[in-house]
């Protein structure tokens, strides 16, 4: 069935390069900063590189004043070579994701001083991301002439020992995520060895050194190492010999831009803006052909060259889903043949159970995306939409600008690269909860269907049999707690983002405690759904942050946990418990959280509202919740 012509279909868009140049010429890059994600996301890589110098001149403070709701990410950059092009590229990449880059660039070849000296400007920038950009001249500048493989090995060992010391120093004095990278090995060095056996030994030892670099993130949770080899394997040149010789720029402009793209993905992750839902079209996207015309037996997937390409794309989608990305199908089709195709076609890799929601109907796709977002209780800025139809992509872009739209064409062999190039779902670290996310969201949809059978919310809650456990966090909880702080936007009273290292430091500190909230009910185990970060170093305990997953809203869990926490504080000798709320564009629903639990306003400064509970009257936990607590020996 062919959809009728839509008179409101989006018109042929102006090229993004033209849009950008118009903003720049008219001096509206700051005032129209909110338009940059839509413009930059449609640009080719070369166009983004051309835009970077103009973007580097943007004053972050001016953008903050004009757009106070745009999240800013502080970035400090250091390294061994000339990196003057990187700040502009970072500004472009972050703007593409709706973020503001506030970048400090260190002096040339100052990375040792920067990482070693806690009172350096590098530390003083208080970065969220600290980028230490490494290049091969770090090693080859120090080998003798002539040189042998053993000479290179000696310098490699010395540099890796130095980097290990610098990493330990930096991570012990800063909460930033420190980003390193592997070292490319350009042919201009290997070709100086005339015998292939020596070249092989050099390659083996260089790769061993890069493996040591990559393993730094295993020993230091706040360290990320960007592996440049996959970028080089895609044809990105490692170096530009003229720039290296005349300007000491030892990574090529293309590789620097690709590095900035990867850093942009990390910035999105640490700012809590990683996407959560992948919504995919079916006809022409997950399989070839038109299901309504060709029938289940006639679609292309699995068999034949094109069928194999569609199956490969499905494997990539399923791989993402296995790591916590919620999959939704949004298709203009009748539901029965879609269900038959997903369950009965022998070449299908994805099954109906892999999707948290399959929306097969003839409504506009942007309407279906809205309904899926409502069902999942997630914002549309959590969605990535993939469709082979330019019409559908343009319509979603126009109607739902918060949705990330991935452009794919008619060639299925290129679908996977198009989906993965922007790292929409990248995280610093996954937790044990991620692999179970789809099943838990499906259970949540079952809960909503169950709710529809009751005439009152209270009756529903009574029959839901909610069980909650509030207990001291353990080491195994760290990845999930960091993830909650980074990805939870609605029930997050301060929106302070924490890396795994930040969580561990709070768990280890003498006066700061981390409590984890778990829940379950008649439909299953929800796992870790929230956290309380608590400072109990004085007789006035302070709740640094309270987080709760959107999956478990409106069940009384937060009231139960606060009630038991207040009771425990009073029994432990505290005379009051305080908390604070900092408003953001997304956490308005918790503005009245503390007053609703009996706290009174103690101070306001235009940004923070501070609350205090004197522990004289503590509301009991809701009666429908079975609550157990284990505050541990510390609290």
CA distance 445 to 259: 40
Domain housing 245: 71-270
The contacts of residue 610 (CB under 8 Å, 6+ apart) are: 578, 579, 580, 601, 602, 603, 604
Classify burial at 297, counting beta carbons within 10 Å of its beta carbon; exposed 0-12, middle 13-18, buried 19 or more. exposed
CA distances from 538 to 187, 398, 573, 574 (A): 62, 53, 10, 8
* Average pLDDT, rounded, for the chain: 90
In the predicted model, is pLDDT for residue 571 greater than 70? yes
Does 343 map to a domain?
Answer: yes
Alpha helices in 121-195 (DSSP H): 121-124, 137-140, 149-173, 187-190
CA distance 260 to 183: 16
More reliable by pLDDT, 442 or 481 = 481
Summarize the confidence of residues 243-262 as an average pLDDT: 95
CA distance 397 to 549: 28
- Asked if residue 103 lies in contact with residue 128, where contact means CB atoms within 8 angstroms, the answer is no
In the predicted model, is pLDDT for residue 421 greater than 80? yes
Alpha helices in 381-456 (DSSP H): 390-399, 415-420, 437-451
Angle made by CA atoms 19, 21, 25, in degrees to the nearest 5: 120
- Whether residues 201 and 243 share a domain: the answer is yes
Summarize pLDDT for 318-347 with one digit per residue, the tens: 999 999 899 999 999 999 999 999 998 999
> What per-residue confidence (pLDDT) applies to 292?
84
In the predicted model, is pLDDT for residue 242 greater than 90? yes
> What per-residue confidence (pLDDT) applies to 4?
47
Where on the phi/psi map is residue 186: left (φ > 0), alpha (ψ -120 to 50), or beta? beta
> What per-residue confidence (pLDDT) applies to 3?
47
CA distance 327 to 477: 25
- Whether residues 232 and 380 share a domain: the answer is no
Summarize the confidence of residues 614-627 as an average pLDDT: 92
- Whether residues 235 and 381 share a domain: the answer is no
**Confidence grade of residue 550 (pLDDT, cut at 50, 70, 90):** confident
Does 66 map to a domain?
Answer: no
- Whether residues 108 and 226 share a domain: the answer is yes
- CB atoms inside a 10 Å sphere around CB 241: 12
Pairing of strands 326-332, 357-361: parallel
**Confidence grade of residue 23 (pLDDT, cut at 50, 70, 90):** very high
More reliable by pLDDT, 166 or 376 = 166
- Whether residues 86 and 218 share a domain: the answer is yes
**Out of 6-10, 427-431, 498-502, 513-517, least confident range:** 6-10
Does residue 532 sit in helix, strand or coil? Answer: strand
**Confidence grade of residue 282 (pLDDT, cut at 50, 70, 90):** very high
Does 525 map to a domain?
Answer: yes
Q: Which CATH number fits the domain that encloses residue 294?
A: 3.40.50.1000
From 236, 270, 304, the end of a domain falls on 270
Q: Which CATH number fits the domain that encloses residue 565?
A: 3.40.630.30
Does 6 map to a domain?
Answer: no
CA distance 267 to 426: 10
Peptide bond before residue 382 is cis, with ω within 30 degrees of 0 = no
DSSP letters along 323-389, please?
TTPEEEEEEES-HHHHHHHHHH-TT--S-GGG-SEEEEESS-HHHHHHHHHHHHT--GGGEEEEES-
> What per-residue confidence (pLDDT) applies to 2?
44
Of 34, 32, 29, residue with least CA distance to 70: 34
> What per-residue confidence (pLDDT) applies to 10?
47
DSSP letters along 87-106, please?
HHHHHHHHHHTT-EEEEEEP
Q: Which CATH number fits the domain that encloses residue 208?
A: 3.40.50.1110
Summarize pLDDT for 82-134 with one digit per residue, the tens: 999 999 999 999 999 999 999 999 999 999 999 999 999 999 999 999 999 99
From 216, 239, 270, the end of a domain falls on 270
CA distance 196 to 202: 10
> What per-residue confidence (pLDDT) applies to 376?
87
- Whether residues 84 and 124 share a domain: the answer is yes
In the sheet with 609-613, reading across from the earlier edge strand, the strands are: 600-604, 609-613, 576-581, 540-548, 524-535, 512-521, 466-472, 625-630
> What per-residue confidence (pLDDT) applies to 11?
54
CA distance 396 to 123: 42
Does 14 map to a domain?
Answer: no
Of 115, 96, 88, 107, residue with least CA distance to 39: 96
Does 390 map to a domain?
Answer: yes
In the predicted model, is pLDDT for residue 452 greater than 80? no
More reliable by pLDDT, 12 or 39 = 39
- Two structure tokens written together for 475: 């080491």
- Whether residues 190 and 330 share a domain: the answer is no
> What per-residue confidence (pLDDT) applies to 633?
60
- Whether residues 80 and 211 share a domain: the answer is yes
Does 61 map to a domain?
Answer: no
Pairing of strands 625-630, 524-535: unpaired
From 420, 453, 479, the end of a domain falls on 420
Summarize pLDDT for 462-520 with one digit per residue, the tens: 888 899 999 999 998 998 898 888 888 888 998 888 888 889 888 988 888 999 999 99
CA distance 298 to 555: 47
> What per-residue confidence (pLDDT) applies to 589?
84
Tell me how many domains the chain contains. Answer: 3
The contacts of residue 388 (CB under 8 Å, 6+ apart) are: 281, 283, 284, 285, 408, 409, 410
Summarize pLDDT for 455-478 with one digit per residue, the tens: 788 888 888 889 999 999 999 899
> What per-residue confidence (pLDDT) applies to 13?
59
- Whether residues 618 and 485 share a domain: the answer is yes
Does 17 map to a domain?
Answer: no
The contacts of residue 191 (CB under 8 Å, 6+ apart) are: none
More reliable by pLDDT, 525 or 543 = 543
Q: Which residues pair with 603 in a beta bridge?
A: 610
**Out of 205-209, 293-297, 319-323, 439-443, least confident range:** 439-443
Alpha carbons within 13 angstroms on the beta-carbon side of residue 225 total 22
CA distance 394 to 371: 19
**Confidence grade of residue 12 (pLDDT, cut at 50, 70, 90):** low
Q: Which residues pair with 105 in a beta bridge?
A: 77
- Whether residues 371 and 408 share a domain: the answer is yes
- Whether residues 193 and 312 share a domain: the answer is no
- Whether residues 545 and 490 share a domain: the answer is yes
> What per-residue confidence (pLDDT) applies to 198?
96
């Amino acid at each position: 069935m062919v959809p009728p012509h839509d008179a409101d279909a989006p018109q042929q868009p102006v090229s993004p390069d033209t849009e950008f140049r118009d903003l720049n010429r008219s001096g509206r890059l700051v005032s129209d900063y909110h338009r940059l994600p839509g413009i930059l996301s449609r640009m080719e890589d070369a166009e983004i590189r051309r835009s970077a110098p103009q973007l580097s001149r943007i004053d972050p403070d001016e953008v903050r004043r004009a757009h106070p709701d745009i999240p800013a990410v502080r970035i400090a950059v250091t390294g061994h070579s000339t990196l003057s092009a990187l700040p502009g590229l970072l500004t472009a990449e972050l703007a593409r994701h709706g973020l503001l880059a506030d970048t400090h660039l260190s002096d040339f070849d100052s990375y040792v001083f920067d990482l070693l000296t806690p009172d350096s400007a590098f530390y003083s920038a208080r970065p969220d991301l600290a980028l230490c950009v490494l290049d091969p001249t770090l090693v080859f500048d120090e080998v003798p002439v002539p040189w042998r493989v053993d000479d290179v090995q000696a310098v490699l060992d010395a540099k890796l020992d130095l980097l290990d010391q610098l990493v330990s120093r930096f991570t012990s004095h800063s909460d930033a995520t420190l980003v390193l990278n592997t070292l490319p090995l350009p042919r201009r060095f290997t070709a100086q060895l005339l015998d292939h056996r020596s070249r092989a030994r050099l390659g083996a030892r260089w790769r061993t050194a890069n493996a040591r670099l990559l393993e730094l993130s295993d020993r230091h949770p706040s360290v990320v190492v960007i592996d440049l080899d996959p970028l080089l394997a895609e044809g990105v040149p490692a170096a530009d010999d003229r720039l290296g010789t005349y300007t000491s720029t030892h990574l090529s402009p293309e590789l620097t831009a690709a590095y900035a793209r990867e850093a942009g993905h990390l910035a999105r992750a640490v700012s809590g803006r990683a996407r959560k839902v992948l919504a995919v079209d079916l006809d022409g996207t997950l399989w070839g052909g038109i299901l309504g015309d060709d029938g289940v037996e006639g679609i292309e997937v699995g068999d034949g060259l094109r069928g194999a390409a569609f199956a490969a794309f499905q494997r990539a989608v399923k791989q993402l889903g296995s790591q916590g990305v919620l999959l939704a199908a949004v298709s203009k089709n009748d539901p029965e043949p879609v269900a038959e195709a997903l369950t009965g076609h022998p070449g299908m890799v994805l099954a109906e159970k892999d999707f948290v929601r399959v929306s097969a109907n003839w409504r506009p796709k942007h309407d279906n995306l809205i309904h899926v977002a409502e069902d999942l209780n997630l914002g549309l800025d959590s969605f990535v939409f993939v469709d082979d139809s330019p019409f559908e992509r343009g319509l979603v872009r126009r109607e739902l600008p918060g949705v990330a739209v991935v452009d794919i064409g008619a060639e299925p062999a290129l679908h996977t690269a198009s989906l993965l190039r922007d790292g929409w779902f990248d995280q610093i670290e996954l937790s044990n909860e991620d692999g179970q996310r789809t099943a838990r969201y499906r259970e949540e949809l079952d809960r909503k269907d169950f709710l529809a059978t009751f005439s009152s919310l209270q009756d529903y809650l009574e029959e839901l049999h909610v069980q909650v456990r509030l207990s001291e966090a353990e080491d195994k909880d760290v990845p999930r707690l960091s993830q909650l702080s980074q990805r939870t936007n609605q029930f997050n009273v301060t929106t302070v983002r924490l890396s795994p290292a930040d969580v561990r430091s709070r768990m280890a500190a003498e006066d700061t405690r981390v409590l984890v909230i778990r829940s379950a009910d008649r439909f299953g185990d929800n796992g870790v759904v929230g956290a309380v970060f608590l400072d109990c170093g004085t007789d006035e305990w302070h709740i640094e942050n309270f987080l709760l997953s959107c999956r478990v809203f409106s069940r009384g869990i937060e009231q139960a946990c606060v009630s038991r926490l207040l009771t425990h504080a009073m029994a432990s000798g505290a005379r009051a418990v305080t908390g604070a709320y900092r408003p953001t564009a997304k956490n308005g629903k918790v503005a009245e959280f503390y007053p609703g639990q009996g706290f009174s306003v103690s101070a306001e400064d235009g940004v923070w509202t501070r609350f205090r509970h004197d522990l004289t009257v503590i509301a009991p936990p809701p009666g429908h919740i079975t609550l157990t607590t284990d505050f541990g020996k510390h609290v």
